Amino acid sequence: MVRQLVRKPLFWIGFFYIFLWLAGSFAYLWIWHNHIPIADLTLNTQHRIAARPPYPPQQFPPLGADDFAQSIFIVVLIGAKFTLGFAILIAWLRVVLAAIIGVAFRLWIPKIGRIVLAPFESLSYFPIALLAYFILQWVLFQDARMHENHFSYGFWARTWITVAVLTLIALPNTAQTLYNETDHLLQKEFIESAKVLGGGRWHLVRKHLQPYLFPRLVLVFVREIVQVLLLMAHLGLFNLAIGGILMKDNMFSHEAPYSLSNDWGGLIGAYWHFLWTTYPYLALIPIVLVTLAILSVKAVLLAVQQVVEQDVGGGLSKSAKYKQRTADATAVGNGPLSFEPVTDPDRQAYGMG
């Protein structure tokens, strides 16, 4: 699957966008320790203030300066690891936990699993961003407002709380999807053949389910990255960001939201009020970055779908396909483990066969 995937141009287009932002963000952390350059006031010949931030890109390249006089490029570069890195982490946690729950419930306790997971299907009709807002708005915003702009929990405590909530909030639906997928695979003939030959549950998982489930898990994983990025953008509009948001005085001496992690979703909310002012580029920059990130992940998703669809076995490796053919052949008595009785015409003629 990997060899076929690296031959797809769509994969490399999406991969390079994500990789370059992540690599640049971590490199800036290691080399410059997330230092954000501050733009100076513009003075005229009489040394009086002629202009103050925000500055447009042509005045403070490459992306301008925001209302806190910070370089927007460095701000979004620092926030890339919190946006893309945590989106990948949350999606991975969702898929791993959902795979364990879905497969375990279907193989070991199918009746209980169906009863437990079925009610959560109704959550798919409820706005997940609104549910996340109700859970996180105290931890990431209201707590500081009630305690003189100081949070009760540390930055990383708030970050991991956010990761846990965004992971668990979509876990039931993802587990239900993988439960149904496992149930569908268990109806295959080669699975029945393996059961007849004495294959246990762990044997089914390792030898038969894993080759089929892995490509589908990759698809679900990439889709979850898109969902997490959208969720982070929606939460940003509610002034919720990874690590939290404080209200600080900007260059206009007005209170404005200030993201502590600079994740792109939080920047959308922090800069949103500039969309209808003379500084619309402040709001458009994080919106464009999140949009390009989603399109990049979608490009990777399309490449993965093409690979899975091109493989007749649904993404199976050659060894897995051989095992499947062996199991099917064994079930009909034509395989290497066939125990059909051998009849001898001469013995039948004497009534001995």
* Region 311-317 average pLDDT: 49
CB within 8 Å of 23: residues ≥ 6 apart? none
How far apart CA 68 and CA 270 sit, in angstroms, is 11
Q: Per-residue pLDDT averaged across 301-318, rounded?
A: 71
Residue showing tokens 């103050």: 52
pLDDT at position 49 is 81
Kindly tell me if the per-residue pLDDT of 347 is higher than 60: no
| CATH 1.10.3720 is the classification of domain 6-33+80-332 | yes
**pLDDT tens-digit profile of 159-170?**
999 999 999 999
Average pLDDT over residues 81-91: 97
Tell me the pLDDT tens digit for each residue of 94-142.
Answer: 999 999 998 888 888 877 877 877 777 777 778 899 999 999 999 999 9
Tally of residues, the chain: 353
The structure tokens listed for 212 are: 């089929």
Average pLDDT over the chain, rounded to whole? 84
pLDDT per position as a tens digit, 28-68: 999 999 999 999 988 887 888 888 899 999 999 999 999 99
Quickly tell me which residue has 């996340």 as its tokens. 132
- Range of weakest confidence among 2-16, 170-184, 211-225, 324-338: 324-338
